[in-house]
């Protein structure tokens, strides 16, 4: 190769040089013409100063950021659980589309807590929190439905024929005695611990999306698909910002 003076030059491969038009080298951040070296950020030209500012503006992942994200996510999951339960109790229906709102709430809350930091561990936590909030919401809905049925049964018994009596006329007071000859109460049972009862309810709640497939396959399948969409929303939101690919200097 020869330059304008006719001297031979040796090509160099250490610095990339792009063929550009005059005036085309403008920083996409500050919109100022670039003189001297420049960088390419995600295939867009940027000056050195703006490149350095963008590098420093990227939030850094840390243990404290992850803990804050989990705390915010748990709060959003509880709020989503209450929202789902209130709508289900008020309408008497399991409206699966609320799962989409729960996934959005959990994802946004976690990103708020982390300061914009995302990643695989944030996504896994968001998925678990969204699923837990939606599935466990079936517990208060089922309890409310059971209480409503019991109330209806009591009202129907009260409004029944007044001639029917709960006490048999020939029954003696001793007939209601459930004690044994030794004086022990036969109806006395060992009460179940609150922890075991709560754990059993939690297991039923966590499995409710799949248990519903057995009782009502069509609606159960629809609800499960909508739940998966809500989980995917939380997964996408907590993926974080797109990576900053910096090439250069040129």
Q: What would the pLDDT profile of 85-134 be if each residue is shown by its tens digit?
A: 898 888 766 677 888 999 999 999 999 998 888 889 999 999 999 999 99
> What mean pLDDT is predicted for residues 177-198?
56
Q: What confidence tens digit (pLDDT) does each residue in 12-36 have?
A: 545 445 444 444 578 877 887 877 7
Residue 58 neighbours by CB under 8 Å, 6+ apart? 241, 244
Q: CA 243, CA 42: separation in Å to the nearest integer?
A: 9
Report whether pLDDT(185) > 70: no
Q: Is the dihedral of CA 231, 232, 237, 243 positive or negative?
A: positive
Task: Find the mean pLDDT for residues 230-249.
Answer: 82
Instruction: Output the pLDDT for position 131.
Output: 92
Q: Average pLDDT for residues 166-172, to the nearest whole number?
A: 50
Tell me what the pLDDT averaged over the chain comes to: 75
Please state which of the ranges 29-33, 74-78, 178-182, 243-247 shows the lowest mean pLDDT: 178-182
Distance from C-alpha of 211 to C-alpha of 219, rounded to nearest angstrom: 11
Q: How confident is the model at residue 176 (pLDDT cuts 50, 70, 90)?
A: very low
CA distance 92 to 245: 51
Three-class HEC string of the chain:
CECCCCCECCCCCCCCCCCCCCCCCECCCCCCECCCCCEEECCEEECHHHHHHHHHHCCCCCHHHHHHHHHHHHHHHHHHHHHHHHHHHHHCCCCCCHHHHHHHHHHHHHHHHHCCCCCHHHHHHHHHHHHHHHHHCHHHHHHHHHHHHHHHHHHHHHCCCCCCCCCCCCCCHHHHCCECCCCCECCCCCCCCHHHHHHHHHHHHHHHHHHHHHHCHHHHHHHHHHHHHHHHHHHHHCCCCCCCCEECCC
pLDDT band at 73 (very low <50, low <70, confident <90, very high): very high
Which one is predicted more confidently, 50 or 171?
50
Lowest mean pLDDT, pick from 43-52, 190-199, 206-215, 219-228: 190-199
Which one has a higher pLDDT value, 65 or 169? Answer: 65
Q: What's the pLDDT tens digit per position in 121-157?
A: 999 999 999 999 998 888 888 888 777 777 777 767 6
């Amino acid at each position: 190769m020869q330059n304008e003076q006719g001297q031979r030059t040796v090509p160099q491969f250490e610095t990339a040089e792009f063929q550009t038009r005059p005036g085309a080298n403008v920083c996409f951040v500050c919109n100022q013409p670039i003189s001297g070296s420049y960088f390419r950020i995600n295939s867009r030209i940027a000056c050195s100063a703006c490149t350095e500012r963008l590098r420093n503006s990227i939030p850094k992942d840390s243990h404290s950021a992850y803990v804050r994200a989990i705390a915010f996510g748990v709060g959003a999951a509880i709020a989503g659980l209450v929202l789902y339960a209130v709508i289900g109790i008020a309408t008497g229906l399991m409206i699966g589309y609320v799962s989409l709102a729960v996934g959005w709430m959990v994802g946004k809350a976690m990103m708020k807590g982390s300061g914009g930091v995302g990643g695989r561990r944030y996504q896994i936590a968001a998925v678990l929190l969204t699923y837990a909030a939606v599935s466990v919401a079936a517990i208060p809905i089922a309890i409310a439905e059971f209480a409503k049925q019991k109330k209806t049964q009591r009202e129907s018994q009260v409004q029944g024929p007044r001639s029917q009596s709960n006490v048999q006329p020939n029954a003696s007071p001793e007939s209601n005695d459930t004690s044994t000859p030794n004086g022990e109460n036969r109806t006395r049972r060992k009460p179940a611990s609150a922890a075991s009862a709560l754990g059993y309810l939690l297991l039923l709640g966590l499995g409710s999306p799949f248990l519903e497939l057995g009782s009502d396959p069509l609606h159960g399948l629809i609800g499960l698909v909508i739940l998966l969409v809500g989980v995917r929303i939380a997964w996408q939101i907590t993926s974080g910002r797109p990576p900053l690919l910096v090439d250069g200097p040129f």
